[in-house]
Structure 1
Amino acid sequence: MKYPRLDVDCTKIQQNAQFLIGKLSLKNISVTPVTKVFLGHPIIAKVLVTAGAKMFADSRIENIQRMTNAGITTSKMLMRTPMLSQVATVVRCCEISLNTEIIVIQSLSRAAKQSNINHGIIIMVELGDLREGVMPERIVGFIRKIISLPNITIRGIGANLACRYGIAPDDIKMSLLSDLANEIEAQFGIHLDIISGGNTASINWALTSTNLTRVNNLRIGEAIFLGFESLMNEKIIGLHDNAVTLSAEVIESKIKPSLPWGSRGLNAFGEKDIICDRGTVSQAILALGRQDVCVTGLSPPTGMQIMSSTSDHLIIETTGEPLLVGQIVKFTLDYSALLSCMSSRYVHKVFSTT
């Protein structure tokens, strides 16, 4: 075995996706799985197709191309506003893109016309989290400027919440999105078939709200892969929360003082933590560091505590038996940890079925 190693249980991911697709369909809400955390990996894409996915969403055109090149024919949505430098590639590789800028949509129109392609767009509306989106009071004027562009079809409107400031989706915000959809249809005589109400953070709202809204789509990644909703970081009942784990090998194990000695400045990352003298401790070093994973997103086994990390070393303390050199320690991950270690070429990825 090679370490550090990310183990991905594809069966559990498939079951999570099937569960959410089924539950949300009872609310007339479709699920668009977000593949970015797995970098558009074809194995994961195929698992999601088996689970019932009808479209994928990703923020990187490279990930979308990776799936297409692997023979994945499922429709694809670029969920980050396209870069002007990539519009030609976007219209070739994606059926739909999320948009907030008129100049970008105009460029998509020209690129689509040149390629004799019709490209669908979803206009993102700002509902308070202050990431991407057109202000609600400007959405009608915005659409008036793009409604007649050739080779562009306005498929719907959407919103993103909880990513920047943790602003929660609720009945008020989803009702506003629905009212805007109704207003747009009345003003321009078009039908919007996608009203996308957010991401994993919108799941609890969708499952518990009794209000009737136009929201009929969610873009979901974290809940499918990790079993958690992102707003309060709580496990979603019915989902596996251990489909992905990260294992690392112990390379040193010693009894050491807890208090460093000598003249002290900043560490290699410009940090200077407050340290208390706790006497001697059972310390182990693992061959895993910040170059491999977002360490703050790791949860160690019971009886172990992550104390600090450097580029290549993870220092943990144990309250039970000291760890042995060569011993393997398995961690669970949050979204930030999964995203970072999937992006690291030093972490070996193993996909399996149970």
Structure 2
Amino acid sequence: MIYSSTPRIEIDLSKVAHNAEKIVRLYGSKGIHIMGVTKGVAGSAEVADILVKSGITTLADTKLKNLTTLKKAGVKAELVLLRTPSLGDAEETVEIADISMNTELTVIEALSQQALQQGTIHRIILMMEMGDLREGIMPEDLEKFIEKVLLLKGVKITGLGANFACFGGVKPSSRKMEELSAAAEKVEAMFSLQLTYITGGNSGNYHWFKETKNTGRINNLRIGESIYLGCETLDREEIPGLYTDAFTLVAEVIESKVKPSLPFGETAQNAAGEYPSFADQGMMKRAILAVGSQDVVVSGLNPRADIEILGSSSDHLIINAKDTDLPVGKEVAFHVNYSALLSLMASAYVSKKYYFSNFIQLPQPG
């Protein structure tokens, strides 16, 4: 018998393409264009190519290494650095990214110097703080900030944006979108700017978009999770008509035995520095899978079989097999959430299998 490499993440490019096309059409119906965010797939050129073929012309990532991969692969899209560059990355940012998001004048000054040295114009999107308390220029400081940026050569303000539903969990409400639209209109009028991107958020903007009758000046969203996992990100509700299973983790059973449910002997901290506690369930069928916390955020896994994840160490996933037959060598599949997807795609220890479905059938509503 020939065994496939595990652990692996299987990527159904047909389902990714379907979701991307649906997302482009959905948001495009109200004049909103999509930045396809590739950080969730670690800058995968295979996935990026699918996004471009699905109608997405701008790709964004937080890692310059990922953008470099896309550029070397010849992906035909504008590339956006989705995080303010570090000072040490200013040169590479100008070389690799067409656009970067910024909140610090010192960094923009460094980008200006590098752009002048490289004989180019580097475009920037200014991010405004609107309550989520991740990145952003405070609203009361925005006008003076722009005044200083406009004195710099080699950089051009091409957009204004805000972040939501990431660090603080703040919703991109209608009121927040109206405030961002008003800020964009004010700085355009005050400084004679023509902003190409008014980027109002991410996959968390789905409910706002569906409910609003007027999107204002918001013309761009940065979407990753909705494309990859078929959900919005405020409550992780599934978006009708999208696949939620385009990505699957597959791990192999390397031990299968009947063991006690309680550890025996004196206990102390485990490998994660925790003092674990266990319920006494008597003897149980236990299996170990060859994947662990070094490879994946285990809390983001949901087994497709009727089994229970008991816990993990760095390289082992401990399973209560219940009534499921899990002999050594059997492969076990898991749904993944976004945190699990991020870690799996970034892990050098997890192989990636890209394929196109021969037949796809969408799940029925309900």
Q: % of aligned pairs identical? A: 44
CA distance in 1 between partners of 2:287 and 2:314 (Å): 16
Secondary structure at the aligned position of 1:57 is classed as strand
Partner of 1:130: 133
**Matched residue, 2:20:** 17
| Pairing 1:32–2:32 present | no
Q: Which amino acid aligns with 1:124?
A: M
1:349 aligns with 2:349: no
Question: Which amino acid in the other structure matches residue 162 of structure 2?
Answer: A
Could you say which residue in structure 2 is the equivalent of 1:54? 57
Match in the other structure for 1:177:
180
1:60-108 deviation per Cα after TM superposition (whole angstroms, max 9, x unaligned): 1111111111112311110100111111111121111100000111111
Say which is worse superposed, 125-134 or 160-169, in terms of deviation: 160-169
Counterpart for residue 320 of structure 2: 317
Describe the SS at the equivalent of 1:253: strand
Q: Which runs of 5+ in 2 are unaligned?
A: 358-366
Residue from 261, 275, 278 that aligns with 2:278 = 275
Aligned partners of 2:293 and 2:314 also within 8 Å: yes
User: Which aligned segments of 4 or more residues in structure 1 are displaced greater than 3 angstroms?
Assistant: none
Alignment RMSD (CA, Å): 1.1
How far apart are 1:305 and its partner, in Å? 0.8
Question: For residues 278 and 69 of structure 1, what CA distance do their matches in structure 2 show?
Answer: 54
Distance 2:271 2:77 in 1: 45
How much does 1:208 deviate?
A: 2.2
Q: Is the 8 A contact 1:24 1:207 kept in 2?
A: no
Shift of 1:274: 2.4
Which among 236, 240, 248 is matched to residue 239 of structure 2? 236
Letter in 2 for 1:203: Y
Deviations for 1:232-279, whole angstroms, at most 9, x for unmatched residues?
Answer: 111111111000000011111112111112111111111112222111
Amino acid at match of 2:251: A
- For 1:124-273, what aligned pairs fall within 5 Å after superposition? 124-273=127-276
Contact 1:82/1:97, CA 8 A, preserved across alignment: yes
Instruction: Please give the alpha-carbon distance, in whole angstroms, between the structure 1 residues aligned to 2:199 and 2:247.
Output: 27
Q: Give 1:212 shift.
A: 3.9
State the Cα distance separating 1:343 from its structure 2 match: 1.2
* Residue of structure 1 in register with 2:332 after alignment: 329
TM-score normalised by the chain length of structure 2: 0.94
How many equivalent pairs are there? Answer: 354
Aligned residue type for 1:61 = L
SS in 2 for 1:71: coil
What SS does the corresponding residue of 2:184 show, helix, strand or coil?
helix
> Corresponding residue for 1:103?
106
Specify the alignment match of 1:87 in structure 2: 90
When normalised by structure 1's length, the TM-score is: 0.98
Q: Residue 42 of structure 1 corresponds to which residue in structure 2? A: 45
- CA–CA distance in 2 between the matches of 1:61 and 1:302? 38
CA distance in 1, matches of 2:48, 2:262: 48
> What CA distance in whole angstroms lies between the structure 1 residues aligned with 2:287 and 2:218?
50
**Contact 1:171–1:211 (Cα < 8 Å) also in 2:** no
**Structure 1 residue 17, shift from structure 2 partner:** 0.4
CA distance in 2, matches of 1:115, 1:321: 61
2:21 is aligned with what amino acid?
Q
Quote how far apart the aligned CAs of 1:201 are.
1.0
2:122 paired residue number:
119
1:287-322 deviation line (CA, Å, top 9, x unaligned): 111111111110012411101100111011123233
Q: Distance in 1 between matches of 2:170 and 2:7?
A: 35
Structure 1: runs of 5 or more not aligned: none
Contact 1:125–1:134 (CA<8 Å) still a contact in 2?
A: yes
Q: Residue in 1 aligned with 2:360?
A: none
Offset at 1:226? 1.0
| 1:234 counterpart SS class | coil
